[in-house]
Amino acid sequence: EAGVVQSPRYKIIEKKQPVAFWCNPISGHNTLYWYRQNLGQGPELLIRYENEEAVDDSQLPKDRFSAERLKGVDSTLKIQPAELGDSAVYLCASRARSGNTIYFGEGSWLTVV
């Protein structure tokens, strides 16, 4: 069974440019998460989806960040415009409806220069 798939793995962009990350969760998992992990820190939740509905986006900086999960399967996280402080690893994760374990993808490593 395929795990959580993310792309791109690595991205280097100049500040003020846009960037987008894509995530395909484990098949059948209705809950999808986007976490951000700054260097030397633990991951912090940005947004949680239950199917196509964003049920917790309180930590998402809505002035520049947006996310969507239109059909309740894959998801895209966008940053526009990017700032130097956005350099981090963006982790996607998913969980089954009846499950207690959250499974993570390999992450998308963003460097803003």
Partner 1 sequence: AQSVTQLDSQVPVFEEAPVELRCNYSSSVSVYLFWYVQYPNQGLQLLLKYLSGSTLVKGINGFEAEFNKSQTSFHLRKPSVHISDTAEYFCAGARAQGGSEKLVFGKGTKLTVNP
SS3 content of the chain, % helix, strand, coil (to 5): 5, 50, 50
Binding stretches for partner 1 (CB under 8 A):
4, 6, 31, 40-45, 48, 56, 91, 93, 95, 99-107, 109
What span, in angstroms and rounded, lies between the C-alpha atoms of 1 and 22? 19
Nearer to partner 1, 48 or 69 (CB): 48
Q: How far is the CB of 81 from partner 1 (least distance, A)?
A: 26
Three-state DSSP at 112 gives strand
Beta-bridge mates of residue 91: 35
Q: How far is the CB of 100 from partner 1 (least distance, A)?
A: 5
Q: How far is the CB of 13 from partner 1 (least distance, A)?
A: 19
Nearer to partner 1, 67 or 91 (CB): 91
Nearer to partner 1, 70 or 100 (CB): 100
Q: How far is the CB of 79 from partner 1 (least distance, A)?
A: 19
Nearer to partner 1, 15 or 67 (CB): 67
- Write the burial class of residue 96 (CB in 10 Å: 0-12 exposed, 13-18 middle, 19+ buried): middle
What span, in angstroms and rounded, lies between the C-alpha atoms of 9 and 18? 16
